[in-house]
Amino acid sequence: MSYATIMVHVDADGEISGRVRVAAQLANQFKSRLIGISSWRPRPPFAIEGVVIDPKLTTEDIVNRNAALKARGEKFKTGAGLESHRVEWRCAQKFPIPYVLQEARAADLLVIGREGRNLDPYLFLDPGSLLLGAGRPVLLAPPGVSSIDIGKIVVAWKDTREARRAIRDALPVLQQAETVILTEFCRSPDDVAPAQRRLDDVAQYLASHRINSIIQKVQPSQDAVEDSLLAFVQRESAGLIVAGAYGHSRVGEWIFGGVTQALLTRSPICCLFSH
């Protein structure tokens, strides 16, 4: 298995971020095509202290913005450092989230960034909304990260559909790893034996896909599982976390479980999610 096509989201303005280098590194490793994607949406009229402000763009504004997006694409292609026939640029004047979700059909893997603040939805992606709607595995790169080390990978196992999808979707990187650590966290001593049986099954599944350097670790957890997981990853000096993403929509807002939320907002290393 491989990732034949990787898509990376590129912010419409600012510096070309480290996630582009992460995506290009993976594209090199898997001999993949790389698609850069970016979009923006003009703001609708809004009111400030009773005064209506209409930021409607003129035809000239739109032409200039399209030119800026095209120039952004050229900068992306240069930064990716791949042969021209392996790099593609897509852009549009649309909301970023629905546009990327629409175009995700073209890729095996999406690479996106994580920002530490609320960002303008007319310009930037919300990782959670994209993750739960993409129908593709999503690799989340933290701020400041510009490379990925898949030599040692931690699989955060939970016996759920999402975790099974994550294992399947991560097979290409797991096959490249020198060490794969399967871990499940248990609250009670009574849970240890069942957890070990589950990890045995997962290890056997991975071995059937030519992944043999597997370490199984059932971990007791007195603290919150997300804190225990992040501490474990740091102790192991892992370069990537593979996990299922657990969440649901409530009144138009995505609500995530503790582990997913922690990985989305606090993980110091890249995370590969499936939902």
Give pLDDT, residue 44. 62
- Alpha-carbon torsion, ordered 127, 133, 134, 137, to 10 deg: 70
User: Does residue 249 have a pLDDT over 70?
Assistant: no
Torsion region of 252: left, alpha or beta (phi above 0 gives left; psi -120 to 50 gives alpha): left
Higher pLDDT, residue 165 or 93: 165
1: which residues sit within 8 A by CB, 6+ positions away? 171, 172, 175, 209
Q: Does residue 48 surpass a pLDDT of 90? A: no
On the question of pLDDT at 221 being above 90, the answer is: no
Distance CA 187, CA 151 (A): 29
63 or 7: whose pLDDT is higher? 7
Three-class DSSP labels, 91-150: EECCCHHHHHHHHHHHCCEEEEECCCCCCCCCCCCCHHHHHHHCCCCEEEECCCCCCCCC
Residue 106 to residue 222: CA distance in whole angstroms: 43
Under CATH, domain 152-274 is a member of which superfamily?
A: HUPs (3.40.50.620)
Question: Model confidence at 91, in pLDDT bands (50, 70, 90)?
Answer: very high
Domain boundaries, the chain: 5-141, 152-274
Q: Does domain 5-141 fall into CATH 3.40.120.10?
A: no
Q: Check residues 6 and 127 and name the one with the higher pLDDT.
A: 6
Burial 130-168 (b: 16+ CB within 10 A, else e): bbbbbebbbbbbbeebeebebebbbbbbbeeebbbbbbe
Lowest mean pLDDT among 136-140, 195-199, 243-247: 243-247
Cα 166 from Cα 236, distance rounded (Å): 20
Same fold, 5-141 and 152-274: yes
For the segment 17-47, what is each residue's pLDDT rounded down to a tens digit?
899 999 999 999 999 999 999 998 776 655 5
